[in-house]
Copies of this chain bind each other. A is one copy, B any other.
Amino acid sequence: MGTRLGELVELFGGRLVGDPDVRVDGVAPLERAEAAELSFLGNSRLRARATQSRAAAMILAPADEEAVSAGYSGALIVTSNPSAYFARAAQLLQAHWVAVPGIHPGAVVHESARVDPGAQIGPLVTIEAGAVIKAGAIIEAACYIGPGAVVGAGTHFFPKVTFHARCVIGARGIIHSGAVIGGDGFGFALEDGRYIKMPQTGRVVLGDDVDIGSNTTIDRGAMDDTVIEDGVKLDNQIQIGHNCHIGAHTAMAGCVGVAGSTRVGRHCTFGGAAMVNGHIEIVDNVHITAGTLVAASITAPGRYTGYYPIAPNAEWERNAAILRRLSSYRDRIRALEKAVQAGSAEQK
């Protein structure tokens, strides 16, 4: 482990101010970095912290170079996107997940499953008939891979992922513990007040470089597939209904829910606990604020919001009571307008 600054710049670019032979063997936040560690300044408001950092080297933006170098004596790597540079450097410097090829003797693997010899299968994993695990994939302890499911090259399942029958994930993905991919969609026909189950026979198809959070659930399509395109990042506790289509490089924070058959565009973001109704469409580059319910399609990019502002309880009580009778206040404003108009007409 560890690398020279010169090597970092060769790999990831940026302008090095300092000795290329200085070595770094880890990463750390500004205030905790030690003499052999690399840190970064991602936000100009933290310049004061940066100047006092003991890090061996610091990644920063051109705009911060002068101010920081006045006080900080370590090396600098100047780049337009310090956060992205730091993410790459950290991936290089830190222990990262590499498959230890082989199948743990405590795993239960069906004889018709095709596990690449370069894949790692942990203890107490179940792999059903016809499933395919590609090279470099890591399936940690107690995961379940359903019949005919396909896990792409270099994809990493943390312990206790459930990946149901015939679902597919591409390369370099990550699925965190407790996620359930490909459970039945919530589809029923109603007859005489009782629900009759609609069989759910579509799949979930996830692209490359997808990241799925802990305990997130994505339901299989009813007859067609649920699709998660390349580069989508879903945080924990998210629910994606059947037949949804989530466009590439869209990110959702924790506790978001998307009801069935909704189509979300590319490069969208959703704040925590945003909820999206079913059977609607959201175009590319839409940003939904946390706690907002999207009840209808959104046809123009931009930021959208709809949460009730918090207040001390007594104040909320007062305002909410008025909100409940808002139409009566509208009527009173109309009546006033008429009265004032009448009065003013009379005066003329």
- The residues of B that contact A289 with a CB separation of less than 8 Å are 313, 316
Choose the segment among A15-23, A60-68, A180-188 that binds chain B (4+ C-beta atoms closer than 8 Å): A180-188
Write the nearest CB–CB distance from A267 to chain B, whole angstroms.
5
CB-based nearest B residue for A144 = B159
A48 sits at the interface (CB 8 A):
no
CB-based nearest B residue for A224 = B29
A265 CA to B184 CA, complexed, in Å: 26
Given known A-B contacts A126-B142, A211-B197, A267-B193, A257 and B237 have beta carbons under 8 A apart? yes
A332 CA to B186 CA, complexed, in Å: 47
- The residues of B that contact A327 with a CB separation of less than 8 Å are 315, 318-319, 322
CB-based nearest B residue for A83 = B189
| Contact residues, A103-134 vs B (CB, 8 A) | 104, 106, 108, 122-124, 126
CB-based nearest B residue for A187 = B87
- The residues of B that contact A197 with a CB separation of less than 8 Å are 87, 91, 174, 211
Q: Are A188 and B313 in contact (CB under 8 A)?
A: no
Q: Mark A151-181, 1 if CB is under 8 A from B, else 0.
A: 0000000111010100000000010111010
A219 sits at the interface (CB 8 A):
yes
Choose the segment among A1-9, A69-77, A298-306 that binds chain B (4+ C-beta atoms closer than 8 Å): A298-306
Determine which of B195, B199, B214 lies in contact with A233 in the assembled complex, contact meaning CB atoms within 8 Å.
B195
- The residues of B that contact A325 with a CB separation of less than 8 Å are 319
Determine which of B123, B158, B201, B340 lies in contact with A340 in the assembled complex, contact meaning CB atoms within 8 Å.
B340
- The residues of B that contact A100 with a CB separation of less than 8 Å are none
Write the nearest CB–CB distance from A260 to chain B, whole angstroms.
9
Write the nearest CB–CB distance from A76 to chain B, whole angstroms.
18
Determine which of B28, B123, B237, B329 lies in contact with A330 in the assembled complex, contact meaning CB atoms within 8 Å.
B329
CB-based nearest B residue for A230 = B194
A36 sits at the interface (CB 8 A):
no
Q: Mark A277-295, 1 if CB is under 8 A from B, else 0.
A: 1000000000011111111
A255 sits at the interface (CB 8 A):
yes
A311 CA to B325 CA, complexed, in Å: 11
